[in-house]
Amino acid sequence: PADALHPNLERGRGERLKMVQHHESWVTHRHILREHGITLFGPPIQTLVDPVTPAALQLGMQVILRRWVAPMLENPVPSANPGYQSYIVLSLCRILYTLHHSTVVSKRVAAQWAMATVAKPWETLIAHAEQTRDSGEWAMQADPMPDTLAFMRYVLEESQSLEN
C-alpha cells in the first residue's frame, strides 16, 4: 500500500535500518528486488513483491527527475563533490536507459549504452564518471560541475520529449 512503511537501508557512514514510506520512484528498487533478488530464507521473492510494469518504471524515473534532479539545478552546491557527480551522471544514464527501454540495467551497462547511442556530446563526462566510480577520484582535470549540470538539463529535456 502507498502509505505503508517498509524497511530501508541506504549506503553511507552512520546509516542504519529504518522504516520509511516508499514513493513512486521506489518501483525501480521493487523491480530489481523482484527480478534479481536472492531468497535467503522463506518464500520466493516473486510471491511477496508484485511485478512492476514498464509504464510504472518509466513513471518512477520521471518522478526521480522531478524530485531529485530538477531541485539540484536550482541549488547545485550540494552536488559539488566529484564522487557525487559521478553517481549523478551514472544514475542519469540509467534513468535515460529505462525511459527508452522500459527496463532497468546496471549503471555500467546504461553508461555504455548512453555513450554508444544517445549521449555523444556527453561521452567524455560519462567515461570520467565511470573511472571515478572505479577509482574514487575524479578522472577529469577540469571542474566537472558545468558539464554535470548541462547533462542534468539534457536528461530532463530528453525525458520531457519522451513523455509527450
Instruction: Please state, in angstroms and rounded to a whole number, the distance separating the CA atoms of residues 4 and 117.
Output: 39
| Confidence at 164, pLDDT banded by 50, 70, 90 | low
- Of 40-54, 59-73, 100-114, 116-130, least confident by mean pLDDT is 116-130
What residue has cell string 525511459? 99
pLDDT digits (tens, 9 = 90+) for 48-100: 888 999 999 999 999 999 999 999 998 887 777 777 888 899 999 999 999 99
| Angle, CA of 114, 127 and 160, to the nearest 5° | 35
pLDDT range class, residue 35, cuts 50, 70, 90: very high
Q: So what's the pLDDT on residue 120?
A: 75
pLDDT at 51: 93
Q: Which residues pair with 163 in a beta bridge?
A: none
Asked if pLDDT for residue 33 goes beyond 80, the answer is: yes
Residue 46 has pLDDT above 70, yes or no: yes
Mean pLDDT of the chain: 86
Between 85 and 153, the higher pLDDT residue = 153
**Which pTM does this prediction carry?**
0.85
Q: How far apart are CA 155 and CA 142, in angstroms?
A: 22
Question: For residues 132 and 83, is the Cβ–Cβ distance under 8 A?
Answer: yes
